[in-house]
């Protein structure tokens, strides 16, 4: 693909490959998203069979994402291990505390380490990027405790950098919408259940089938669906037939009220509910 990248980005890319080579072997926590897809591709290019992709299935992980992940790994020829990691079985997780992601990532990384050791792999890596240092990410604490490396952060690669390099490498994910686990659709403190997660997945699948690109269906109070889409897609969504179809489908799924968030899609919108938590408390999770 005839895509140009500047010298600064070339240097970051070179540093990423050098760091991966220094690891010798690595098992990548692979979700199929923009970051982990790029990391798996580069790790496989550098390390070959000493790079392993590990994907965890659970009720918080949409089936469409799993199928995309499997398809990509098959295309590049890397080894892919699929494990089960059911967050709802983790004590306290379903209560949805603000440090929910810590418990999820801790279990995930523990299981990936078991897979890595069974295959003679020396390191476990995640797809955290340099921008994540400026966000509320309790899962990074688990990564630190379990000696999980973050090559994209080491190379100081931002989300924009990763998209540019993904396009440069011809990866299908270079313009893939941002993704987060289905649990992130439920406000902190509200119970997470398998039924809620299934409703969210069905609602988002329907909106994606309608052609909407960046989609979140936030689940409030057991009744209300708050739909977030990109503002550039508002015009099409507000077509009378689309509104009627979406309303009917989401009510069929089980929602009582269906709303469109006028602020549109934005990452971390659920974190607004914890904006008054002190920096001390946030640092502890």
**Cβ partners under 8 Å of residue 241, min gap 6:** none
**Cβ partners under 8 Å of residue 183, min gap 6:** 60, 87, 96, 100, 104, 192, 197
The DSSP code for 177 is P
Which structure tokens are listed for 269?
A: 């919108």
Which structure tokens are listed for 145?
A: 């405790």
Evaluated on CA atoms 164, 112, 21, 15, the torsion sign reads: positive
User: Can 181 be counted among the known catalytic residues?
Assistant: yes
Which structure tokens are listed for 182?
A: 């289905």
Q: Residue written as tokens 């502890």?
A: 284
CA pair distance 123, 112, nearest whole angstrom: 10
Candidate list 101, 104, 144, 181, residue with the active-site label: 181
What phi-psi label fits residue 125: left (phi over 0), alpha (psi between -120 and 50 degrees) or beta? Answer: beta
Q: Whose CA is closest to 15, among 49, 50, 46?
A: 46
E strand or H helix that includes residue 10 = helix 7-23
Catalytically active residues, by annotation: 181
């Amino acid at each position: 693909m005839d895509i140009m990248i500047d010298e600064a980005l070339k240097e970051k890319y070179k540093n990423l490959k050098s760091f991966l080579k220094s690891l010798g072997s690595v098992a990548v926590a692979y979700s199929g998203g923009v970051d982990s897809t790029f990391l798996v591709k580069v790790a496989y290019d550098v390390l070959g069979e000493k790079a392993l992709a590990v994907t965890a299935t659970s009720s918080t992980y949409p089936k469409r994402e799993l199928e995309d992940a499997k398809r990509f790994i098959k295309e590049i020829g890397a080894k892919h291990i699929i494990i089960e990691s059911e967050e709802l079985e983790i004590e306290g997780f379903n209560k949805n505390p603000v440090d929910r992601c810590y418990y999820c990532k801790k279990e995930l990384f523990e299981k990936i380490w078991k897979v890595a050791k069974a295959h003679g792999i020396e390191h476990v890596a995640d797809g955290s990027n340099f921008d994540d240092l400026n966000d509320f990410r309790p899962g990074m604490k688990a990564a630190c405790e379990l000696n999980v490396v973050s090559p994209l952060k080491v190379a100081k690669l931002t989300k924009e950098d990763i998209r540019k390099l993904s396009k440069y490498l011809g990866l299908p994910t270079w313009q893939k919408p941002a993704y987060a686990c289905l649990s992130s659709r439920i406000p902190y403190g509200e119970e997470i259940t398998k039924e809620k997660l299934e409703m969210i997945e069905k609602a988002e699948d329907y909106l994606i089938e309608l052609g909407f690109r960046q989609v979140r269906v936030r689940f409030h109070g057991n009744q209300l669906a708050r739909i977030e889409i990109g503002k550039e897609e508002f015009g099409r969504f507000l077509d009378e037939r689309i509104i009627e179809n979406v309303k009917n489908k989401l009510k069929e799924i089980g929602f009582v009220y269906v709303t469109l968030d006028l602020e549109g899609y934005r990452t971390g919108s659920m974190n607004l509910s914890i904006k008054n938590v002190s920096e001390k408390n946030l640092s502890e999770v």
